[in-house]
Amino acid sequence: MLDSLIDAAAWVIPVMLAVILHEVAHGWMAEKYGDQTARILGRITLNPLKHIDIFGSAVIPALLIFAGSPLLFGYAKPVPVDFIRLEPPRMGMRMVAIAGPGMNIIIAFITGLLLHIEYFITPEQAPWLFLNLYRSLALNCGLAVFNMLPVLPLDGGRVLYSFLRGTPQRWFGKLEKRGILLVFAILLVAQLMGHNVVELIGKPVYWLLASILYITGNGH
């Protein structure tokens, strides 16, 4: 029982940092492009109480962890952005969207660098510390890839929306309210058709993870 609690606790720091800094990055970038909404509402802060969404930040990750899922994701309360205030609007929307996954890649890169502490202390000597680092690396790579799927309201969908014009943009925008359900429906259909969903999503995640390990000098 104690081992299970210790193992579960090793998810807390990686999950909180990944989802909170993801949202802070959105708000910070929006401010740089002229929208002060996140700043006014106190969302450009590391205070977890300002960001935690009980369902997305706790319930979903916990269920996936205890179910032994090879994929783990979660989310915080989305940072409010008034896209009308962004200047220039399309570039602003694009950069605000990219900022979240970009932050996850930065965290993963820093985590890769931190793995070099094994020169001073081994994983056997500090298993909980290294478990946090391994999970931070995998989780942030997973979040970066998942959030860049080209479906609203995910960040990749926002980037695609910023490039569209006229009728295609209006039709694509109508999918936002049901976008997450659409993502899960596509994954479910793919699974039912015999495609390995973990493999489909896992390939770009693994490529990103392997690239970061190589760049940070951890590749073999």
Catalytic residue among 23, 87, 176, 199: 23
DSSP 8-state class, residue 139: H
Contact yes or no for 96/159 (Cβ under 8 A): no
pLDDT at 35: 95
Within-domain flag for 154: yes
Q: How far is Cα 110 from Cα 104, in angstroms, rounded to an integer?
A: 10
pLDDT at 44: 92
Q: Before 127, cis peptide (omega within 30)?
A: no
Which stretches of the chain drop beneath a pLDDT of 50?
A: none
Within-domain flag for 106: yes
23 catalytically annotated: yes
Within-domain flag for 220: no
Within-domain flag for 141: yes
pLDDT at 74: 65
Structural domain count, the chain? 1
Within-domain flag for 13: yes
Q: Which domain holds residue 8?
A: 2-215
Within-domain flag for 107: yes
pLDDT at 93: 96
Within-domain flag for 178: yes
Within-domain flag for 189: yes
Q: How far is Cα 32 from Cα 96, in angstroms, rounded to an integer?
A: 9
pLDDT at 216: 95
